[in-house]
Structure 1
Amino acid sequence: MPVSPPYGLIFDMDGVLIDNTPEQAKAFQLLFRDLGLTTNARRLLRRLNGMPASAILKTVFTSPVSAKQLTEYAAQRELLYRVLYWNKRREVAGLSAFLQAARAAGFRIGLGTGSATDTIAYIIDHLGLRRYFDVIVGKDDVRNGKPHADTYTVTARRLGISPGRCVVVEDAILGEQAAYRAGMHCIGITTTLKAADFQAPLLTVSDFTELTPQRILELLDHHPKSPKPSRELAKRQYAQQ
């Protein structure tokens, strides 16, 4: 039977609904090559995945770059990414079946991503996923992107669910921190990071074949309070390695 009052289940998009981080990294690396930068894109995304592209790009320049120029660079990167990912768009294993089961179990389901509206459509409409989401929140709907809490607090508010009854599914460090800042729990999916890289998820899974709504409810019963965010993990600078 559906749980009453309901819980909210909020998904990030990149690295959660789809396993696209390798193509994202390649697109950044091609842009960096054109700009004469030596930044390692894989290391960059390992630390800053979840932020809008323009905010990620801002961290790699040693001299100030105008907002207009960053937007242009982000658009160039987006074009490169779409070309690279065009024929690879597919959902993470078990996603649709899990979303159907979650709805049947009474969860309200939201999408909370740092992507813009057209990028969201490029993925979820191509894959036929829009029908599963009660609410979709993107970059244009919030003032501050991850690791700030805005993306997830806005999604919860539009779902009509209190933050303490929401669980976020994330692949990224900054996304996990955004969930904790919003007063929510987090489930980590290891498309991008290792399980040990997350701070304090309810659990980690490699894909959605390993997760059921009942398992989430059991975990929430045993862990009623969400973790406190880590100031160190939420730092937004590029970690040189």
Structure 2
Amino acid sequence: MSDSATDQPYALIFDMDGVLIDNTPEQARAFQLLFRDLGLTTNARRLLRRLNGMPASEILATVFTNPVPKKQLEEYAAQRELLYRVLYWNKRREVAGLTAFLQAARAAGFRIGLGTGSGEDTIGYILDHLGLRRYFDVVVGKDDVKRGKPHPDTYTATARQLGVQPERCLVFEDAVLGEQAAYRAGMRCVAVGTSLSATDFQASLTYIRDFTELTPKHLLELLEQHSAVPKPHKKP
């Protein structure tokens, strides 16, 4: 999608968890089962409302009173990942309207990227099982960047690989920290309400419950009407 002023494309960059798929309940359940095994009383659902979008090992680092070695946190994160995959195995399905929207966006000329905090195995567990990889020009995961969300690295790297300037990128996010990552990357954001309400987000262009509520034409109108990128909160 381009305009006569710049002749540059627009790009759509999607988070994965909670955006392409509605898996937050299973993610929370996996964390809760891990916490039970570790003797922790942390409420996983409340935790994810604040920290969803961060790498699992960094989320886990916040629940311990005393510092835990990084290697141990990674082991806990791997345990949580296994629990999540078992819980979600038979539930893998795309958010309503996703494939039709991706097809329409590509036909309209948008570049399309995926920017997620998941590793390649987890990306494949979703994208390849659901046959979605074909719709993405670029896929960026946690192994491709040094810092996860809410830092901007994931979305900055995705835009760079897409060859599109940040101000012409629009991020789809279900998490408040992901929204902040988009603004830090100099991009605008659409909030996907699989687990949060519209008022939980700072300044999204629009709020959708699924992709049946949006068309590429409407998206282009929003982008052209709201050119300014919101300023992120000061603290990552």
TM-score (norm 1): 0.95
Tell me the equivalent position of 1:108.
111
| Stretch of structure 1 that moved more, 214-223 or 19-28 | 214-223
Choose which of 20, 26, 32 in structure 2 pairs with 1:17. Answer: 20
1:126 counterpart SS class: helix
Please tell me the residue identity of whatever aligns with 1:67: K
Please tell me the residue identity of whatever aligns with 2:33: L
Is the aligned partner of 1:216 residue 2:216?
A: no
- Whole-Å Cα distance in 2 between the matches of residues 36 and 51 of structure 1? 22
Contact 2:2 2:10 (C-alpha < 8 Å) held by counterparts: no
2:189 counterpart SS class: strand
Shift of 1:2: 6.2
Shift of 1:5: 1.8
Tell me the equivalent position of 2:134.
131
Contact 1:152 1:178 (C-alpha < 8 Å) held by counterparts: yes
Tell me the equivalent position of 2:194.
191
Tell me the equivalent position of 1:237.
none
Choose which of 157, 174, 178 in structure 2 pairs with 1:154. Answer: 157
Contact 1:2 1:105 (C-alpha < 8 Å) held by counterparts: no
Segments of 5+ residues of structure 1 without an aligned counterpart are 235-241
- Whole-Å Cα distance in 1 between the matches of residues 178 and 138 of structure 2? 18
Q: How many residues align?
A: 233
- Whole-Å Cα distance in 2 between the matches of residues 191 and 92 of structure 1? 9
Choose which of 165, 174, 178 in structure 1 pairs with 2:177. Answer: 174
Identity in percent: 77
What root-mean-square deviation, in Å, do the aligned CA atoms of Structure 1 and Structure 2 show?
1.0
Choose which of 200, 203, 214 in structure 2 pairs with 1:200. Answer: 203
Shift of 1:231: 2.5
2:219 counterpart SS class: helix
Please tell me the residue identity of whatever aligns with 2:184: R
Tell me the equivalent position of 2:147.
144
Deviations 1:84-126 (A, max 9, x none): 0000000000000000000001000000000001000000000
Choose which of 75, 85, 90 in structure 1 pairs with 2:88. Answer: 85
TM-score (norm 2): 0.97
Contact 1:2 1:104 (C-alpha < 8 Å) held by counterparts: no
Shift of 1:220: 1.0
- Whole-Å Cα distance in 2 between the matches of residues 228 and 98 of structure 1? 28
